[in-house]
Copies of this chain bind each other. A is one copy, B any other.
């Protein structure tokens, strides 16, 4: 069950410790949920003393927030997706779904479905999901200042919700047949769906 990090580089490196904790926490939070993950296992995974969680993040809740914020920074690393990028978005999304073993990204998506029960963290989570919705909507031609394109937001969110549901089924639950479906099969099934929803 334990899946400890490879031995960390130096003995004394605050920044390294912080990031090791966040990396371990994201894995645990995403796979076992907020309550299911314990500070002790997270610290053990990171190869670090438990007390450092409180030292660096104030509380377990603070660590969870840090995980969410790191997701914010990682997604859409630079620039916004532009309208007309439909094919690129589709292949990227399906790629995330298909390559789950090596990629770190499915965990990132799963994290968005976990609740800590704390209202502030949940607000961050909602904001991130709405941000993703807007990114999808932009592909479909949505423009923030054009009310006529507002309905595209709902369509984009349905697309996002579909992807999240599939990540859940395939990665976290492991239900058949989707868990053992190939990338090609996923493209063939999910692709048209996304195209229909996001077509301008």
Contacts and interface: CB of A to CB of B under 8 A. Distances in A.
A122 B160 CA distance: 25
Interface stretch (A3-11, A100-108, A176-184): A176-184
B153 A115 contact: no
A91 interface: no
Nearest to A155: B189
Residue from A117, A126, A165, A185 whose CB has the most chain B CB atoms within 10 Å: A165
Contact of A157 (B129, B133, B169): B169
A161 interface: yes
A158 B189 contact: yes
B175 A115 contact: no
Interface string A174-200: 111110010001000110110011000
B161 A169 contact: yes
A28 interface: no
A176 to B, nearest CB: 6
A190 B162 CA distance: 10
A129 B197 CA distance: 25
Contacts of A155: 189
Contacts of A166: 158, 161-162, 165
B158 A178 contact: yes
A54 to B, nearest CB: 21
23 contacts: A32-B117, A33-B35, A36-B117, A126-B176, A130-B176, A153-B177, A154-B177, A154-B185, A158-B166, A158-B189, A158-B193, A160-B169, A161-B165, A161-B168, A161-B169, A162-B165, A162-B193, A163-B165, A164-B165, A164-B169, A165-B166, A165-B168, A168-B168
